[in-house]
Structure 1
Amino acid sequence: MIIFKNNSVMALSIVFSGMCGSVNAQQREQVLSDKQESIIPIAAYAATGNQTNLNQALNKGLDAGLSINEVKEILVQLYAYAGFPRSLNAIGTLENVVSDRKQSGINDAVGKSPAAVTFKPSKFEYGKAVQTELTGTTNIGAPQKYVPVIDTFLKEHLFADIFSRDNMDYQSREIATISALASMDGTEAQLRAHLNVGRNVGFTEQQLRRMAFLISTKVGWQEGSTATKMLNELFNTASADLVKTGNDVIVEKVTFPNHNITVVGNLFLPKNFDQHKRYPAILVGHPAGGVKEQTAGLYAQKLAEQGYITLAFDASYQGESGGEPRFLEDPAVRVEDFRAATDYLSNHPSIDPNRIGVLGICAGGGFAIKAAQTEHRLKAVATVSMVDLGQLRREGLNGVLKPQMQQRLDEVGKQRTREAHGEPVKYVNYVFSTREEIPAGATGMYKEGYEYYRTPRGQHPNSQNKYVFTSLDKLMAFTALDQVEMISPRPLLLIIGKNADSRYFSDDAFARASAPKELFEVPGASHIDMYDKPEYVPQAVKKLSDFFGQYLK
């Protein structure tokens, strides 16, 4: 596990329909540069032959400042670890990416070419010296002893011919090598060796753990977990340091799998946490367009202060969690995120698996309700400013988009055809990006969405105000509230600002639900006021604490 550091009405409805959350909470201290981090998915996707994801990773790497020659060097080096076919295919993808970017007016830096090298006293001895510097030993492995010629090839070609090329430093080469080895099957021994090389070339434990975390989210949870376990052995420690908030709540970054996607969460442990005790737990789902560091993190921290273990997590494809394409809104996967989070909490040694509750905010509330209908491990269900994102996408707020439903689905179909033909993924915004875009007279969630997500009040770099346009076909087929009564006899609490223009979703859920159920109004509050306003959030937190205290005994 990696620990992070503190420190017109119709037009309006199109923009807002489905948006919903910030604590300007603790943020990761950057331990690798953007360029270094961008090498990880490039190497991983090249090594596994995933050309679609490699295309995206190459674009991001060039955007992060990698030169064309640096990327070429990564792909050249990888042939020694992943083979000529994967390397050649990746080089072909790079050529297409550079060409496409040039046609779009992007002229990427070519970068330095490697200088000629004179191998003294011989290529073998030169390579041996490089190998010794990297590994810290002159010992050779059993395969090299059994077939000595392979040792010659390793020293003369890999460590002399390749590692002598001076347009990429040893650290960058090791990032590429570690990422490639972690991504492939059957290379555990080599991965362990190169994690040790990473330490020898100057990477700190924190930097190596950051690599493992990014491998987890970019490649797969199991691959990242394997690398993390090796680092635990290498450094004889289970994790990096934990972080305490101002109220002595401990925060730990954790990961868990949703099938082949790695979900990333912040686990909040209460004051005076005792690892020998078993605590009740609450998982917290964020709004559409939000991330765990915003309103979900605020509620998670406040409830941890009341004695609960809480987990605020980024939905798949969002924030720090894995999944491609980025910013996809897939309701089936979103619901499964809640089940995967329940899996994680149910197996945590400090959590009583019979005392797990769920809180969903805005669209996260609709997904929480949908999951809880059949997820009986969730013993108590609560929402704040809940919306059914499927209905909101179909109809818009208060039904204003309903007449355009078929037209919008036609547009989705056309866009899917374009993307299948190779055109880039189309993204659209959740909220207005600038104050100037807001039409005169805009009120309610439309105006408040900008004020929360796009200003210092709630803005977070991982909440990028965009989602994949073709998500609409999946969202429009989704309904959160069709079987709300199945939650009973487990309790349901719906919290809503009395002035919220979205309150009809909670009213509908309450009418459909069976007892025990409760609708709790916060006077004077709007939908987004409930995300972070100090005059309203404490009222919701007290109600939530009492509710979970009653039903998670």
Structure 2
Amino acid sequence: MQTISIRNPDMAWPIAADIRFPPGFDAGRPYPAIVSVHPIGSCKDQTSGAVYGEGLAKAGFVVVAFDASFQGASGGQPRLVENPAQRVADISHVIDHLVTLPYVDADRIGVIGICGGGAYAICATKTDRRIKAVTSITGVNFGRLMREGFSGYDPLGALDAMAQQRTAEMRGGAPRVDNLLPPSPEEARKRGQTERDIYEATEYYRTPRGEAAGGATSMLYSHAAAALAWDAFAFAEVLLDRPLLVVVGEKVGAFGAYRDGMEIYGRARSRQKELLVLPDWSHYDLYDKPEPVAQAMAKAVPFFRTHLGAGG
């Protein structure tokens, strides 16, 4: 693995990324490459890199997992901004770097994303024609989630509060940083926050199982307004024609991955699209639990080999 800093003339800050190489890597030959996109509040050291990135590299692909702008080890100020437009732009900036590498075949680039990263990957594929195939692992449309559960089903009220907070901060007030999860599973139980997705997210992000320094699971409230007007799936019937693989768990949670997966599978223009529903597993099981991850990879690897050419 090689850790790099991607500098792009379109950006005033670098993107931190890890490149994982296939077994027997030979820099003198071209490889298919995959960009791996992390969940909301996550980082490249968690599921996008350590699980799916590692697995796809072992299957013969060059894989780049990166930290979103304003998050993890990447640059950008203010910190902890979750801006969907920037998250999608980051994918193209990473591809800008990939196409300069002599060992990457620029005509064989795919993208995979987990949770919010799955929807960002789909959104990027609609407009960046360098992406030849896309896989969404338990993908969540962050705009839809913000308009619903993350705003208490009061999007206009949330926008008013965000506007007031942003004005207060510009006048010298303290920034409001919302932590999206309880501090521990024990605290979640005490608070009665036992809904499947919230509790299982806490089990992943707030225990040694998945916690990482860059995975803050926090969001700067004053800069969250753009997400409420964003839709990952807009114009999918017209623009999303690349081969698509959607993987979801059948155990439904409040963040809506099952619902979003069914929606994009139905709406995508893609003639070559596949849907994998795992009956016994939930959203966060697909982050790192060996059995559901193995089932997802058993679909994703041949999918990418078919549409990008055999790995390695």
Q: Normalising by the residue count of structure 2, what TM-score does the alignment of the two structures yield?
A: 0.93
1:329 maps to what in 2? 82
User: What amino acid is the match of 2:13?
Assistant: I
> Residue 168 of structure 2 is aligned with which of 415, 418, 424?
418
Q: What whole-Å deviation, never above 9, does each CA across 1:157-188 have from its counterpart, x for those lacking one?
A: xxxxxxxxxxxxxxxxxxxxxxxxxxxxxxxx
Tell me if the contact between 2:38 and 2:48 (Cα under 8 Å) persists in the aligned partners: yes
Partner of 1:87: none
Q: Identify which range, 326-335 or 350-359, moves more after superposition.
A: 326-335
The structure in which a higher percent of residues are helix is 1
Q: Which has the higher contact order (CA 8 A, sep 6+)?
A: 2
Q: CA deviation at 1:394?
A: 0.8
Q: What is the alpha-carbon distance in structure 1 between the residues aligned to residue 240 and residue 232 of structure 2? A: 16
Worse overlay, 433-442 or 294-303: 433-442
Matches within 5 A, 1:19-30: none
Question: Partner residue of 1:368?
Answer: 121
The 3 A distance-change label for structure 1 pair 487 and 300 is: farther
- 1:516 counterpart = 2:281: no
Structure 1 residue 365: deviation in Å?
A: 0.9
Task: State the shift of 1:537 in Å.
Answer: 0.6
Tell me what 2:222 maps to: 470
2:300 corresponds in structure 1 to 544
Matches within 5 A, 1:309-388: 309-388=62-141
1:430 corresponds to 2:180: yes
- Specify which of 132, 138, 142 is matched with residue 389 of structure 1: 142
Superposed CA RMSD in Å reads 1.4
**SS of equivalent residue, structure 2 residue 18:** strand
Q: Is 2:244 the counterpart of 1:492? A: yes
Shift of 1:261: 2.0
Q: CA deviation at 1:443?
A: 2.7
Note the C-alpha offset of 1:522: 1.8
What is the deviation of 1:426?
1.1
Greater strand proportion: 2
Q: What per-residue deviation string (whole Å, max 9, x for no partner) do you get for residues 327-385 of structure 1? A: 11111111100000111111111010000000011101111111110100000011101
Q: State yes or no: 1:303 paired with 2:56.
A: yes
Q: How many residues align?
A: 300
Give the equivalent residue in structure 1 for 2:194.
Answer: 442
Contact 1:289–1:467 (CA under 8 A) maintained in structure 2:
yes
1:75-114: CA deviation from partner (whole Å, max 9, x where unpaired): xxxxxxxxxxxxxxxxxxxxxxxxxxxxxxxxxxxxxxxx
Distance 1:522 1:466 in 2: 29
Q: Is the 8 A contact 1:488 1:516 kept in 2?
A: no
- 1:465–1:441 CA distance, 2 compared to 1 (3 A): closer
Which amino acid is 2:260 matched to?
F
Task: Measure, in 2, the Cα distance between the counterparts of 1:465 and 1:368.
Answer: 19
1: distance between equivalents of 2:284 and 2:301? Answer: 21
Deviation at 1:441, TM superposition (A): 6.7
Match of 1:504 in 2: 259
How does 1:120-519 map onto structure 2 within 5 Å? 251-258=1-8, 259-297=11-49, 298-396=51-149, 401-402=152-153, 404-434=154-184, 435-438=186-189, 439-440=191-192, 442-501=194-253, 502=256, 503-514=258-269, 515-519=271-275
Give the Cα–Cα distance (whole angstroms) in 2 for the partners of residues 489 and 386 of structure 1: 18
Native 8 Å contact 1:433 1:465 kept in 2: no
Deviation at 1:465, TM superposition (A): 2.6
How big is the shift at 1:499? 1.3
Q: C-alpha deviations, 1:487-535, integer Å up to 9, x for none?
A: 5442011111121322000111111112221111122110010000011
1:342 alignment partner, SS class: helix
- Give structure 1 stretches of 5+ with no counterpart: 1-250
Match of 1:101 in 2: none
Q: Which amino acid aligns with 2:280?
A: G
Q: In structure 2, give the amino acid aligned to 1:533.
A: K
- Counterpart residue type for residue 270 of structure 1: P
Q: Distance in 2 between matches of 1:257 and 1:394?
A: 33
In the alignment, structure 2 segments of 5+ residues that lack a partner are: none
3-state SS in 2 of match to 1:287:
coil
CA contact (8 A) 2:81 2:224 kept: no
**Partner Cα separation in structure 2 for residue 546 and residue 486 of structure 1:** 26
Classify the secondary structure of the residue corresponding to 1:537.
Answer: helix
Aligned-partner SS, 1:524:
strand
Query: Separation in 1 of the partners of 2:200 and 2:210?
Result: 11
The residue matched to 1:464 in structure 2 has which SS? coil
Cα deviation, 1:426-482, whole Å, max 9, x if unaligned, reads 100121123324433723111001100011010011112311012321110111011
d(CA) in 1 for partners of 2:188 and 2:164?
A: 27
d(CA) in 2 for partners of 1:271, 1:424: 49
Q: Which amino acid aligns with 1:291?
A: C
Question: For 2:7, what is the secondary structure of its paired residue?
Answer: strand
Equivalent-residue separation in structure 2 for 1:391 and 1:382 (angstroms) = 20
Aligned residues of 1:286 and 1:362 also touching (Cα < 8 A):
yes
Q: Answer yes or no: is the 8 Å Cα contact 2:193–2:199 preserved in 1.
A: no
Contact conserved, 1:530 with 1:536, CA < 8 A, in 2? Answer: yes
Distance 1:488 1:423 in 2: 43
Q: CA, structure 1 residues 331+519, in 2 after alignment: closer, same or farther (shift >3 Å)?
A: same
TM (norm. structure 1) is 0.53
Q: Percent of counterpart pairs with the same letter? A: 37
- Does the residue aligned with 2:291 lie in a helix, a strand or coil? coil
Runs of 4+ in 1 over 2 A off after TM superposition: 437-441, 485-489
Aligned partners of 2:137 and 2:248 also within 8 Å: yes
Contact 2:35–2:65 (Cα < 8 Å) also in 1: yes
- Residues 421/460 of structure 1: CA separation in 2 closer, same or farther (3 Å cut): same
